[in-house]
Amino acid sequence: MMEIADFDSLRRAMAENSEEPEGPARNARAEQLLVEAEKLNIPLAVIEALGHQLKVYNYSSEKDKMFVPFARLLRMWDERPEDFDEYETHSLHWVFKWMTAGMLDQPHVPLASIEKWLGEMEHRYRLAGHTERAVRGAEFSVAGHIGDLPRAERAYAAWLAADRDRMADCHACELHGQGGWHLRNGRHAEALEVWGPVLDGEYSCAHEPHTVLASSLVPLLRLGRVEEARAHHLRGFRLVRPMESMRGAYADHVEFCALTGNEARGLELLAERPAYFTDTGQPRSRMEFLAVVALLMDRLTGLGLGGQRVPGPAGRAWTAGELAGHARGEALELAARFDARNGTSYVGDQLRERMAQQPLADRLPLGVRAARTAPPGPVVPVAPAPAPEQPSLPALLAEARRLSDTLQPHALEAWAAVAEAAEETEVDTYVRAEIADHTAMGRGPEGVGLFERAAELYAEAGDEGEAIAARARAAYVRALSGELDEALAGIGEPYDRILALYADDATGVRQTASVLMSRARILMRRVHERSAGAGDAEQAVRELLALVGGRGGSDVRLVSRAAEGRAMLAELAEHAGDAERAGELFRQATAQFVGAELPWFAVEYEVRVAALAHEQGDPAEAERALRAALEHGGPYVEPVGRAQLHLQLAEVVGGRGAAEEAAEHALEAAHWADEAGESGTLGAWARHQLGGFLLRQGRFAEAAEVLESALADLSAETHGDGAVVQTQWWLGDCLSELGEHHAAAERRLQAAEIARHWPEQHDHATLAHLAAESLGNAGLPAEADRAYTRAGELWRAMGNVHFLVRSLRARAWLALRTEAGTEGARKLMADAVRECESALEAVGDPAAAERLGGELGHTHRQFGDLLARSVPEDADDPAIQEAFEAALAEMTAAISVFATLGEEGLHGRTGAELAAGWLEADLSRPADAAARARAVLDAYEGADPADETVRARRAEARQLLEPTEE
């Protein structure tokens, strides 16, 4: 901990403490610094320490501590205003607004005291020459809090009418308040429009867009703009998470989870901030937090999960039901205290309305992993309807036969209902045969015995054809179980018998086709498992098609047999290597299924078409087939199948550059993978892809949240180390764009450590280079230098001169911030020049020589910049002259190199020429400076005036000419 010996060390210590995370530890340090300031016996030191203490209290959960240091500051101002410098005078008046908000947040502060304070604030602002804007804004907050809406309307109008001055809140904060007024009056769209400049990044501050993003969540949901709501949650929660003082905004994110079927994520949010349940420094935000806790717990209880263990206040275990009662009681008690203070019921009314909200979506997929707490259900609970009367057995039987005759998806469930009803009464032998037959169909490989029992019952009932068909189905099930020889042996007799019966008109086409299909399926299994008997299989399929071809008509069973037969021929063509023929036959099969209004059967074959198209390099056909598969499958595709289809489509669509749509499909894939219980496998891969697509759109905060969620499940064993490295890499890119350079460096170093073991080292070198860049941006020059050194060694080993040179140049700039200093920097930049020159001497390819020439030109240019900027502030004139002359020599060398590159080196040459011109001016050579400026103007004679670089260079050249012309 820094020793406070003088005012400067106090200021450094306060600056360092300001950079620490919000919370009690930072507050405690501010209190210690005030004690140290008092020892210095310098009034301004005490004033600054009190201001620092007040600021850290305001940005923490201990806001109630602000009043004491402010009262002391105000007393010091009244007694000796001359002790305050300009900045502290401004700060004192600025925090008047904090005091107003702080008093509102504390129900023990009487309303009369708050009103008196408003008058005091108005008086002091008038004396200081400030406008009424901040005062009226504070009055608007007071009126809105107590529910005096007419007064709030007047104060709102006066606030906006007053001129903005130095005491006005920043644009971002003002827009948040203005949008909040629209929201309070039910104008959701208007609120979002007002917030637009903050959401778009035009205005920002320490708490914005954090709070606007949080406030926008429910309005967006109510307007049906769910994609924006999802994006604002992911982006906004990332901003709010590390800031202890933002309990109110945090509560908005918990509320969003409760209203969108993301209860599990809501529980994760509660678990991250256990202190939010009990921190008492700001009662109003605690009340808001407890209200949404009650909302979330009520949602869980309504889903039948009232007994589930949930995170809650420390000291005991909580169930959802228990926490619901506790949170509601605590929130209402706080609301009652506010209402008693305010003399209205407004706070309590608003709170009850918030806790009574109904979900606005069954589930809004977020892209981040969170286990589902309950199966899909109605969004709004409804009164239970009277139990419908149970259909009679004849009705159940008729419905089951209708569904199975038309091959509907829920036919087996209908037969299960028949079976259950048949247990209560006697049914004839044929019905018992049908029940056994369809029950067997639902058992898969375990249905052999039931098929054989069904065959016996069909025979007993006098339907020999159906009995043979059931035995054929039993044979096929054996093939599915791996008993291929037994299946081949078992199908022979049914096949011979059904053909004989059919020839004698003793059975119909349906039964005969069923047996031929079972035989064809068994023979196809042999082709797939043993790569044998393709000719027998094809003959069997063609025999089936000869039987049913043209006979289908309205009999969807026969149409289905014909379609499946064509698909079998497609599989055989694919097996023989004829992909084009296979694709055509699969398309014919899907067309038949869709034509028979059985689109769900087409899904498998559209997927096969997509795979073939992918192998043939036809992404357009692959995309068409995958879209068709999703359309055909509708709600009948299992969750894991939907996840796979959306994921494949995301990859195809992303491959043609449509990152936005690709992200939508990856999001759906992640959602359905979670529904299927595949979060850690297929879901992790989908999140990996989603993060990449979001990154490509520049949605860095959303991408970072998704990628961090993916990394929790990605593993080299399941997904391959390439996926892990790519995810870390993308996450590092996101964090870098978000300014989180230290975290970006960690991710890039972790990825580099994995890539270090790969045979090909390009990724390892690139990641080491990027990590070095992040470390430098994070203010860690020594660590950055080590990473650049590592990257440089790798680039040298690979013969990549360009990046070797760039790593040396980066190290040279870093050296100015380390013990190596100016001499070390010059040596590294000289090394970079030599590497370029050596490579140029050895290269034979003209194109490669041109690229290396450009690299050399940029290196000379940077060397010149470095020399000019490395002059110490206290250097004497000869030292400055010497450094500038050396810099000018490098700039001149850069100009010469760029000149050899012709048009490709034009911009590089003019940039170096202008830099040289400014150096000439600094060296008191106006004629030489003017000559260089004119050279730039001449170089761009006739150039495109719309080119931004041309315009900028011309403007700078004219600026350089001005002193000489004057």
pLDDT bin (cut points 50, 70, 90) of residue 2 is low
Q: Give me the pLDDT at residue 377, please.
A: 38
Q: Is the pLDDT of residue 381 over 60?
A: no
Closest residue by Cα to residue 559 from 510, 522, 501, 609: 510
Judge contact between 820 and 873, C-beta under 8 A: no
Give the dihedral sign, CA 159/160/163/166: positive
Q: Give me the pLDDT at residue 373, please.
A: 57
Q: Is the pLDDT of residue 898 over 90?
A: yes
Give me the mean pLDDT over the 565-578 stretch: 96
What value does the CA radius of gyration of the chain take, rounded to a whole number of Å? 38
Q: For residue range 750-762, what is the model confidence (pLDDT) as tens digits?
A: 999 999 999 999 9
DSSP 423: T
Q: How far apart are CA 639 and CA 375, in angstroms?
A: 12
**Percent above pLDDT 90 for the chain:** 87
Q: For residue range 84-116, what is the model confidence (pLDDT) as tens digits?
A: 999 999 999 999 888 888 899 999 999 999 999
Q: 207 in helix, strand or coil?
A: coil
| pTM for the model | 0.85
Tokens of 924: 């008191």
Give me the mean pLDDT over the 803-810 stretch: 97
Tokens of 320: 């959802």
Q: Give me the pLDDT at residue 928, please.
A: 94
Q: 685 in helix, strand or coil?
A: helix
Q: For residue range 663-677, what is the model confidence (pLDDT) as tens digits?
A: 999 999 999 999 899
Q: 309 in helix, strand or coil?
A: strand
Judge contact between 113 and 131, C-beta under 8 A: no
Distances in Å between the alpha carbon of 380 and those of 5, 11, 351, 362, 395? 65, 57, 20, 9, 32
Q: Is the pLDDT of residue 378 over 70?
A: no
Closest residue by Cα to residue 472 from 452, 491, 486: 491
| Residue 275, H or E segment | none
Judge contact between 540 and 523, C-beta under 8 A: yes
Q: For residue range 14-34, what is the model confidence (pLDDT) as tens digits?
A: 999 999 988 899 999 999 999
Give me the mean pLDDT over the 144-153 stretch: 95
Q: Is the pLDDT of residue 564 over 50?
A: yes
